[in-house]
């Protein structure tokens, strides 16, 4: 095992007993699970982005709205497991609207591609669609599985798919002392089991023993009331991480050949319900054109920054480091930048771009001087806006957009299963 904590201090959440004597969670537990899964994927600890993500989820597709906003994800597969053979495909198709691009996705296009596909199929089927997956998410799924299917899940995910990271959650039955159980003794009428923390840990460690390329950390969401902390969290989460993601050597070579023994009955094979590609900006400029455009943009801004003006020489001296981050982002070198500047007759002396004095009245631009951070080489538009300096249509004078408020709320619902 390895130790893991969510970045930035974890979630701000609480569990409490209301006036009716019922256990409640703030925010709802389903939100905590989704948010935790996303924050795990976004954690800089891994040192990379996850491009292809598979969500073995239910037909409600709530997690998708968060996943599609995670930086670096280019392909999301929503794999909906048929708990019953006659799963309602009309329901899946009706949720297509949750996967389709919004009007805002066309008005402000993504910087990279994103393809979303919805499949009906079994979580234990080794199919071509599941190859080359970086991350697997399976929230509150395994407790719905029959023993044979549950037995095949590790074979499919850790033996065939071999993702960099896999996130599983399941109810913690130690917590059930605070709930009124259904007639089947569980929280949901379709649950086949509910594990204690010890049973879940044993399942996770057995997987790591069988597939030694993986290590696991166990966390949870849904806090117990302060006087019941000994029962743990309402929902327990196992984070399986491939050893190379932790900078450890792999014990076995990676191989994701389809195994016949992993494939269930043909009735449960994958069937695509729909697929959609999101609009995104395609930058067709050459590297030289990108460098020149950015240089001209920074020149335009810096000619209004008083600190760069050398009054003795009557010129602006702009440090080349102003362009440092941009150069790195497009895998360019400083020599390539200097070459582009020279071709465009932009004067460079030492570590500075030399610019003539601006012709306009510069007194109205002095506030730009406070928007540039010398230590980080970046423009601080948010600080400019927060100082209540006038902006046009909520656009910062330094080029940034003023932050908005998200007033979206979820309706109250049962959320602990």
CATH of the domain at 98: 3.40.50.150
Rounded to whole angstroms, how far apart are CA atoms 75 and 73? 6
Mean pLDDT on 89-105: 77
335 lies in which domain range? 287-386
Confidence of residue 110 (pLDDT cuts 50, 70, 90): confident
- Three-state DSSP at 191 gives coil
| Tokens (6 digits) for 240 | 């399986």
pLDDT digits (tens, 9 = 90+) for 163-207: 999 999 999 999 999 999 999 999 999 899 999 999 999 999 999
Radius of gyration of the chain (CA): 27
- Whether residue 258 has pLDDT greater than 50: yes
Highest mean pLDDT among 55-64, 125-134, 143-152, 210-219: 210-219
- Mean pLDDT to the nearest integer, 226-242: 96
Is there a contact between 400 and 385 (Cβ–Cβ < 8 Å)?
yes
Number of domains in the chain: 2
What's the confidence (pLDDT) of residue 30?
Answer: 94
Are 258 and 160 within 8 A, CB to CB? yes
Q: Are residues 192 and 86 in the same domain?
A: yes
pLDDT at 156 over 90: yes
Are residues 251 and 354 located together in one domain of the fold? no
Is the pLDDT at 392 greater than 50, yes or no?
A: no
Specify whether 51 is located in the same domain as 192. yes
**pLDDT of 368 over the 80 cut:** no
- Which pLDDT tens digit goes with each residue over 284-314? 888 888 888 888 888 888 877 888 888 888 8
| 244 in a structural domain | yes
Residue 228 and residue 365 in one domain: no
| CA distances for 215 relative to 124, 139, 141, 149, 230, angstroms | 21, 19, 21, 23, 25
pLDDT of residue 61: 81
Instruction: Assess whether 270 and 295 both reside in one domain.
Output: no
Q: Whole-number mean pLDDT of the chain?
A: 82
Separation between Cα atoms, residue 233 and residue 229, nearest integer Å: 8
Task: Determine the 3-state secondary structure of 359 from DSSP.
Answer: coil
Q: Residue 206's pLDDT is what?
A: 97
Question: Residue 412: its pLDDT value, please?
Answer: 43
Report the C-alpha gap between 381 and 397 in whole angstroms: 7
User: Of 177, 238, 171, 225, which is closest to residue 25 (Cα–Cα)?
Assistant: 225
Residue 398 lies in a domain: no
Band (pLDDT 50/70/90 cuts) for residue 89 is: low
Token code pair at residue 13: 């959440």
Bridge partner list, 373:
378
Verify that 252 and 307 share a domain, yes or no.
Answer: no
- Note the pLDDT of residue 358: 59
**Percent of the chain predicted with pLDDT > 70:** 78
């Amino acid at each position: 095992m390895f130790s893991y904590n969510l970045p930035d201090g974890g979630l701000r959440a609480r569990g409490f007993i209301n006036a009716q004597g019922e256990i409640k969670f703030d925010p709802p537990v389903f939100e905590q699970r989704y948010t935790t899964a996303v924050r795990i994927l976004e954690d800089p600890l891994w040192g990379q982005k996850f491009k292809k993500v598979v969500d073995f989820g239910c037909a409600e597709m709530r997690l998708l709205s968060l996943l599609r906003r995670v930086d670096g994800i280019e392909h999301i597969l929503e794999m909906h497991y048929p708990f019953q053979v006659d799963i309602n495909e009309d329901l899946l198709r009706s949720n297509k609207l949750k996967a389709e691009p919004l009007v805002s996705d066309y008005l402000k296009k993504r910087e990279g591609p994103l393809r979303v596909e919805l499949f009906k199929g079994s979580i234990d089927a080794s199919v071509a669609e599941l190859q080359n997956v970086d991350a697997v998410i399976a929230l509150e799924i395994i407790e719905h599985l029959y023993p044979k299917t549950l037995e095949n899940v590790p074979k499919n995910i850790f033996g065939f798919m071999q993702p960099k990271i896999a996130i599983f959650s399941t109810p913690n039955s130690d917590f059930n002392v605070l709930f009124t159980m259904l007639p089947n003794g569980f929280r949901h009428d379709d649950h086949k089991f509910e594990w204690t923390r010890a049973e879940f840990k044993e399942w996770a460690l057995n997987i790591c023993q069988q597939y030694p390329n993986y290590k696991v950390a166990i966390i949870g969401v849904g806090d117990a009331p302060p006087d019941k902390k000994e029962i743990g969290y309402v929902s327990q989460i196992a984070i399986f991480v491939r050893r190379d993601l932790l900078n450890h050597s792999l014990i076995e070579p990676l191989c994701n050949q389809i195994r016949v023994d992993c494939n269930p009955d043909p009735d449960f094979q994958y069937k695509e319900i729909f697929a959609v590609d999101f609009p995104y900006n395609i930058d067709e400029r050459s590297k030289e054109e990108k460098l020149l455009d950015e240089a001209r943009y920074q020149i335009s801004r810096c000619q209004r920054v008083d600190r760069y003006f050398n009054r003795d020489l009557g010129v602006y001296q702009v440090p080349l480091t102003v362009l440092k981050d941009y150069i790195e982002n497009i895998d360019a070198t400083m020599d390539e930048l200097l070459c582009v500047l020279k071709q465009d007759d932009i004067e460079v002396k030492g570590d500075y771009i030399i610019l003539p004095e601006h012709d306009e009245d510069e007194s109205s631009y002095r506030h730009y001087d406070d928007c540039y951070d010398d230590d980080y080489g970046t423009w601080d538009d948010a600080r400019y806006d927060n100082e209540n300096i006038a902006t046009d249509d909520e656009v910062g004078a330094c080029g940034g957009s003023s932050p908005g408020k998200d007033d979206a709320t979820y309706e109250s619902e049962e959320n602990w299963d």
